[in-house]
Amino acid sequence: MITLRNLTLRRSAKVLLDNVSVTLNPGEKVGLVGRNGAGKSTLFGLINGSLHEDSGDFSMPSQWRLSQVAQDMPDTDEPATDFVLGGDTRLMDLRAALTRAEERHDHDLDSADIGMQIAHLHSDLADAGEHDAMPRAQSLILGLGFKTAELGQPVNSFSGGWRMRLQLARALMSPSDLLLLDEPTNHLDLDALVWLEAWLKRYDGTLIVISHDREFLDAVTDVTLHIERQQLTRYGGNYSAFETLRAQQLELQQSAFSKQKERIAHLQKFIDRFKAKASKAKQAQSRVKALERMEKIAPVLADADFTFEFKEPANLPNPMLSIRDGQFGYVVDGQPKLIVGGVNRSVMAGQRIGILGANGQGKSTLVKTIAREIPALGGTITEGKGLNIGYFAQQELDVLRPQDTPLEHMTRLARELGPNSGESGREQDLRNFLGTFNFTGDMVKQTVGTMSGGEKARLVLAMMVWQRPNLLLLDEPTNHLDLATREALSMALNEFEGTVMLVSHDRALLRAVCDEFWLVGRGQIAPFDGDLDDYQRYLLDEAKRLRELARLDADAGAPAPAKPQAAAARAAAAEGRSPLTPQEQRKQDAQQRQQLSARTRPLKRELEQAERKMAELQAEKSALEARLASAAPPAELAELGRRLKAAGDQIAQLEERWLALSSDVEAIETARQPS
Ligand SMILES: Nc1ncnc2c1ncn2[C@@H]1O[C@H](COP(=O)(O)OP(=O)(O)OP(=O)(O)O)[C@@H](O)[C@H]1O
Ligand SMILES: [Mg+2]
């Protein structure tokens, strides 16, 4: 049993918990929730003994074994499996003891004592699960999304996100009575997330998990601990149950009511406006549904002390950019490593594109290339005039300087952007601006290194907004953000006039923001015709297809199947597009212009015809309307009505055709624009 009695907890001058009392029972699965900076991670510090209460009592059974995910990035060349096995400290200690005993035994042949000791150690090892430790470690690693071939690879050969997964596996490997997980889903994709949910449900110790992912919390927890205004409150039930209860409580609280009403009205207006705009497309419809959910939890959102908006972009180039024959990837040891190839796509003003694809398929590679963080391996990206990219990536948090304060970060940014940002860089203005992102009072002077994860993410968001971008490239922007800030982000994105390209495993955000999807997979990028539910079905089918493929190969005794992505990449690389000389380039461009006009000519002709016909029909329609309005004889009315409807229908049809034709022409022209 864990008990906090009349406990007060502080971080420098800030009181995080003020005289709280709470009890947690053995075996409970507890979700610890609260706004960014409320003190959740700090509470973990109290439980694991790295911090101490300022007053009151904290107690926990002394014999409880505690397991938690180490926060540092592991940097060792130990093979992945050994690293994870190392998490089972009991097993490791016993193994080491056995080795020592055996060495002594070898030197000291007639010692019966050591013989006994060795026998004991063997039986202890059996108790500790020595016989299946290896497969247990491996199933953890595979469950978290690694491939069989990667089990033996050195830890430091993996990227940051994957190393943190190994760190998580190591914590799960460790036998424990109490497991502390601080936002474990941040580095996971959908598949691994679902696996972790199932694993945690089977875990029989006491679990306390910090998360801002409602679907995850609902699946795993049965008790919710909420930190708010220095109070810690225990609710029986999962996150949704807690949310409903809270919405009811908040509605009862008269004091907050007028402020809330304003916010609810704003939300309502926003949702109505969006609904009116949303087309019949399936994707847009699922967005409407997501917004309707926001309506339901409006009181919780309205209670949030934070909303923000993107500034109106200075200009909107259209297209924002177009990619021609893009080859994206990395250079490893001087060799190009292609991840996605043959990309021919344009990004138009105002599009909301969700970028889907399993881990490692190249979503971030695409985004990084567009953001100019890494060069394309081949092809061209033509940027619209005045393109101003706002790029947000997980690793962006590392870009913050831990020793500096939010104010110093903003001052530097304002200086770098110079006068054309249209903003004053005066300290008071910067403070005001930071205030709109909830950095108030002393917080503008707190060093970034001591801020909570969500506070850092919010600072990065603020810095992005300041840059006044017209194209937002967001790669997992919601990690660390609390629910209310996520909703604030999704509202801000919806009202943003520029273009959004979003990579996220946050299903709620994708639903609320995107009305079209690109699918990155098998070495290519293609539009995905469907909504998120279709995508989850696609994922299942794809997993099945790969399993079958693997089975077929295994049956045939063939070596492990090459990843389809790698195969496609190799194929594209084999085509080997070598760089052209300027003359060749000009010649190619001229040829392309000719091909282009050959392809668009018939379309343009049809466009003109459609325009003429529409004008005729419009004129006819006006005449009919005028006739109807001018007290025509009743006998004529029915006929007039029929003709009016027919004209209207025909116009609608032509408009659709006209739209389709224009976008075809546009697509062909932008895809082929020479750089
Ligand atoms: N060493 C410190 N000095 C000053 N303030 C600190 C220090 N450490 C933490 N804080 C502040 O204490 C508050 C609680 O931080 P904590 O990391 O516990 O929040 P959290 O609830 O885990 O938030 P998040 O959801 O963003 O992870 C934050 O406002 C943070 O800025
Ligand atoms: Mg935290």
Phi-psi category of residue 472: left, alpha or beta, with phi > 0 → left and psi -120 to 50 → alpha:
beta
Asked if residue 477 has its Cβ within 6 Å of ligand 1, the reply is no
The C-alpha atoms of residue 633 and residue 656 are separated, in whole angstroms, by 35
Tell me the average pLDDT across 160-166: 86
Task: Give the DSSP letter of residue 621.
Answer: H
Whether residue 114 is contained in a domain is answered as no
pLDDT for 646: 81
Residue range 480-490: mean pLDDT, rounded = 85
Q: Tell me if 16 CB under 6 Å of ligand 1.
A: yes
pLDDT of residue 640: 74
More confident: 290 or 139:
139
Q: Whose CA is nearest to atom 1 of ligand 1?
A: 450
User: Are the CB atoms for 225 and 33 separated by under 8 Å?
Assistant: yes
For ligand 1, atom 8, the nearest C-alpha belongs to 450
Answer yes or no: is pLDDT of 672 > 70.
Answer: no
| The ligand 1 atom nearest the CA atom of 212 | 25
Ligand 1 binding pocket includes 323 (Cβ within 6 Å): no
Q: Is the CB of 42 under 6 A from ligand 1?
A: yes
The contacts of residue 665 (CB under 8 Å, 6+ apart) are: 600, 603, 604, 607
pLDDT above 90: residue 511: no
Structural domains counted in the chain: 1
Most confident of 248-262, 485-499, 638-652: 485-499
Is the model's pLDDT at 222 over the cut of 90?
yes
Q: Is 503 in the pocket of ligand 1 (CB under 6 A)?
A: no
Q: Which ligand is nearest to the CA of 459?
A: 1
* Residue 510, pLDDT above cutoff 80: yes
CA pair distance 111, 108, nearest whole angstrom: 6
Measured distance CA(181)–CA(48) in Å, rounded: 12
> Where is average pLDDT lowest: 3-12, 258-267, 344-353, 488-497?
258-267
Strands 29-34 and 223-228 turn out to be parallel
Residue type at position 351: Q
When pLDDT is cut at 50, 70 and 90, the band that residue 361 belongs to is confident
Eight-state DSSP code of residue 186: G
Rounded to 5 degrees, what angle do the CA atoms 63, 64, 66 make? 135
Q: How many CB atoms are located within 10 Å of the residue 157 CB?
A: 12
Question: Quick check: is 527 in a domain?
Answer: no
Residue 285: pLDDT band by 50, 70, 90 thresholds?
low
Residue 232, pLDDT score: 95
Is the CB of residue 14 below 6 angstroms from any atom belonging to ligand 1?
yes
Distance 42 CA to ligand 2 centre (A): 7
Distance (angstroms) between ligand 1 centre and the Cα of 503 equals 27
Is the pLDDT confidence value at 572 over 50?
no
**Confidence at residue 589, expressed as pLDDT on a 0 to 100 scale:** 65
What is the 452 CA–ligand 1 centroid distance (Å)? 4
Distance CA 158, CA 154 (A): 8
- Distance between CA atoms of residues 554 and 565, nearest Å: 19
The answer, yes or no, to whether any atom of ligand 1 lies below 6 A from the CB of 37, is yes
Pick from 117-131, 140-154, 432-446, 547-561: least confident: 547-561
CA 673 / ligand 2 centre spacing (Å):
47
pLDDT given for residue 88 in this prediction: 93
Q: Are 101 and 94 a contacting pair, CB within 8 Å?
A: no
Sign of the torsion angle spanned by Cα atoms 67, 68, 69, 72: negative
Nearest to 339, CA basis, from 319, 320, 358, 353? 358
pLDDT digits (tens, 9 = 90+) for 315-346: 999 999 999 999 999 988 888 999 999 999 99
User: What's the CA-to-centroid distance between 346 and ligand 1, angstroms?
Assistant: 42
| Percent of the chain scoring above 90 in pLDDT | 40
- Give the number of the ligand closest to the Cα of residue 15: 1
Instruction: Say if 233 falls within a structural domain.
Output: no
pLDDT (0 to 100) of residue 448: 93
Highest mean pLDDT among 134-148, 248-262, 274-288, 376-390: 376-390
What pLDDT sits at residue 573? 37
Please determine, for residue 512, whether its predicted confidence score (pLDDT) is greater than 60.
yes
pLDDT band at 578, cuts 50/70/90? Answer: very low
Q: Which residues fall within 8 angstroms of residue 101, CB to CB, at 6 or more apart?
A: 114, 117, 118, 121
Mean pLDDT, rounded, for 119-138: 90
**Cβ 522 under 6 angstroms from ligand 1:** no
Give me ligand 2 centre to Cα 177, in Å: 22
**Average pLDDT score over residue span 433-449:** 91
Domain that holds residue 649: 596-672
- Average pLDDT of the chain is 82
Res. 300 pLDDT band, cuts 50 70 90 = low
33, 35, 225, 450: which to mutate for ligand 1, most atoms within 8 A of CB? 450
Note whether residue 439 is domain-resident: no
Query: What sign has the CA pseudo-torsion 486, 491, 494, 496?
Result: negative
Q: Is residue 614 part of a domain?
A: yes
Q: Confirm if 81 and 151 have CB atoms less than 8 A apart.
A: yes
Can you tell me which atom of ligand 1 is nearest the CA of 34? 21
- From the CA of 305, how far away is ligand 1's center (Å)? 17
Distances (CA, A) of 312 to 153, 278, 351, 477: 48, 21, 15, 20
**DSSP state string for 415-440:** HHH-GGGSS---HHHHHHHHHHTT--
- Residue 182: what pLDDT? 94
Q: What single-letter amino acid sits at 97?
A: A
Ligand 1 atom nearest residue 43's Cα? 18
- DSSP string of 567-620, one letter each residue: HHHHHHHHH--PPPPHHHHHHHHHHHHHHHHHHHHHHHHHHHHHHHHHHHHHHH
Q: Ligand 2 centre and the CA of 43: distance in Å? A: 9
Q: pLDDT tier at 12 (50, 70, 90 boundaries)?
A: confident
Residue 627 counted as domain residue: yes
Amino acid at 307: T
The DSSP H or E segment spanning 508 is: helix 507-513
SS3 string of 37-104? CCCHHHHHHHHCCCCCCCEEEEECCCCCCEEECCCCCCCCCCEHHHHHHCCCHHHHHHHHHHHHHHHH
Query: Does residue 301 surpass a pLDDT of 80?
Result: no
**Identity of the highest mean pLDDT range in 273-277, 393-397, 506-510, 573-577:** 506-510
Q: Would the pLDDT of 262 be above 70? A: no
CATH number at residue 650: 1.10.287
Closest C-alpha residue for ligand 1 atom 18: 39
Please check whether residue 511 lies inside any domain of the structure.
no
Which tokens go with 181?
């997980």
Pairwise CA distance, residues 227 & 121, whole Å: 46
Q: Judge if the upstream peptide bond of residue 319 is cis by omega within 30 degrees of 0.
A: yes
- Residues of the chain with pLDDT > 70, as a percent, come to 79
pLDDT greater than 90 at residue 483: no
Q: Given this model, what pLDDT does residue 112 score?
A: 75
Query: What integer is the mean pLDDT of 263-278?
Result: 67
Q: How many angstroms does the Cα of residue 210 sit away from the middle of ligand 2? A: 8
Protein residue closest via CA to atom 2 of ligand 1:
450
Reported as a pLDDT band with limits 50, 70 and 90, residue 560 is very low
Cβ–ligand 1 contact at 453 (below 6 Å): yes
Please enumerate in sequence order all residues whose Cβ is within 8 A of that of 8, keeping only pairs 6 or more positions apart, or say none. 15, 17, 18, 19, 20, 53, 54, 55, 56
pLDDT value for 558: 39
Q: Which of 10, 41, 225, 442 to mutate to test the pocket of ligand 1 (most atoms within 8 A of CB)?
A: 41
- Any atom of ligand 1 within 6 Å of the Cβ of 455: yes
Look at residue 565 and tell me whether its pLDDT is greater than 50: no
If one residue of 447, 451, 478 were mutated to test the ligand 1 pocket, choosing by the most ligand atoms within 8 A of its CB, it would be 451
Query: Three-state DSSP class for 257?
Result: helix
Q: Residue 261 has what pLDDT?
A: 65
Atom of ligand 1 nearest to the CA of 456: 26
Q: 564: part of which helix (H) or strand (E)?
A: helix 564-575
Q: Whose CA is nearest to atom 25 of ligand 1?
A: 36
User: Which residues, other chains included, contact 233 with Cβ-Cβ below 8 Å and sequence gap of 6+?
Assistant: 22, 225, 226
Interatomic CA distance for residues 371 and 395, integer angstroms: 14
- What is the SS3 string spanning 333-371? CCEEEEEEEEEEEEECCCCEEEEECCCCCCHHHHHHHHC
For 351, residues 6+ apart whose C-beta sits below 8 A from its C-beta are 320, 499, 500, 501, 516
Matching residue, tokens 């994708």? 510
pLDDT band at 77 (very low <50, low <70, confident <90, very high): very high
Is 620 within a domain?
yes
Task: Give the pLDDT confidence of 590-634 residue by residue, as tens digits.
Answer: 777 677 777 777 778 787 777 778 777 877 877 777 776 666 676
Q: How far is the CA of 38 from the centre of ligand 1 (A)?
A: 7
- E runs forming strands in 153-298: 178-182, 206-210, 223-228, 231-236
- When comparing pLDDT for 106 and 25, which is higher? 25
Going by alpha carbons, the residue nearest to atom 17 of ligand 1 is 452
CA angle 486–489–491, rounded 5-degree value: 110
Of these ranges, 46-60, 356-370, 639-653, the one predicted with the greatest mean pLDDT is 46-60
Q: How confident is the model at residue 199 (pLDDT cuts 50, 70, 90)?
A: very high
Contact 487, 304 (CB under 8 A): yes
Q: Which ligand is nearest to the CA of 482?
A: 1
Give yes or no for residue 451 CB within 6 A of ligand 1.
yes
| Confidence at 673, pLDDT banded by 50, 70, 90 | very low
Taking the C-alpha atoms of residue 612 and residue 373, their distance in angstroms, rounded to an integer, is: 47
Distance (Å) from CA 480 to ligand 2 centroid: 7
Distance CA 287, CA 514 (A): 7
**Whether the CB of 450 sits within 6 Å of ligand 1:** yes
**Six token digits for residue 496:** 């943003």
Q: How far is the CA of 74 from the centre of ligand 2 (A)?
A: 20
- Inter-axis angle of helices 582-629 and 634-672, nearest 10: 170
**pLDDT at residue 541, as a whole number:** 76
Q: pLDDT at position 577, please?
A: 34
Residue 659 has pLDDT above 80, yes or no: no
Q: How far is the CA of 499 from the centre of ligand 2 (A)?
A: 31
